[in-house]
Amino acid sequence: MIELRTPAEIEQMRPAGRFVASVLQATSAAAKVGVNLLELDELAHRMIRDAGAESCYIDYHPSFGASPFGKVICTSVNDAVLHGLPHDYVLRDGDLVSLDFAASVNGWVADSAISVIVGTPKPADQRLIRTTEEALAAGIDAARVGNKIGDISAAIGSVGKGHGYKINLDFGGHGVGRTMHGDPHVPNDGRAKRGLPLKPGLVLAIEPWWLETTDRIFTDPDGWTLRSRDGSRGAHSEHTIAITPDGPLVLTARD
């Protein structure tokens, strides 16, 4: 079911957005050579406890997950691009890390993701990350009253394909509110002027992601982490936004 939020409810979602942004700022800054993924998860977990927030991931068990997630942040490294389950891995120079985090504050959820390079950057990785961020900005700009879901999807896909990347449609953006995942689904490619009309009060997580040389993925033996079929690297960028009469409002904006 698609729910529209009142202006007062959107204001109530701001603390969740700010908190999710702060956790991603802290964990991305901590993602350095020699740091274990489990340390990043513990940092996020500690911030959740200190803020009195609730994790959206730790007990999460959708149909595509082998078991409850069991951790509080997704840490996808190199050829992993989504749903990376934190494990005993020490970050190395040149690793590309995507961090995806969602939490509930006062009953409202926000969801966001960022990709960063640990240590020495590779130009191809920088380009990969930059294009997901460019696509995210394009998708947000299209999230305006009078447009349709297809306008967001087309804007994202145009950027990705324009840079030569293939777009996987298995996973994409989604509605956000009292729970992390809700209707509508927001594919990362589509046709403009098609689909659900965008109305004030619709809150969405918009999340372009792609891999360097393929659009095919498989699930790691951990039952969660999604990796590229050909070993190429992936990047992921995401914000939770609210559609308002004055334009899109980014609830998870980072300083």
* Binding site as annotated, residues for substrate: 83, 181
- Residue ranges for the known binding site are 83, 100, 111, 174, 181, 207, 238
- Residue ranges for the known binding site for a divalent metal cation are 100, 111, 174, 207, 238
Residue 240 near residue 17, CB atoms below 8 Å: yes
Residues 6+ apart with CB under 8 A from 120: 93, 94
Residues 38 and 204: their CA atoms lie apart, in Å, by: 29
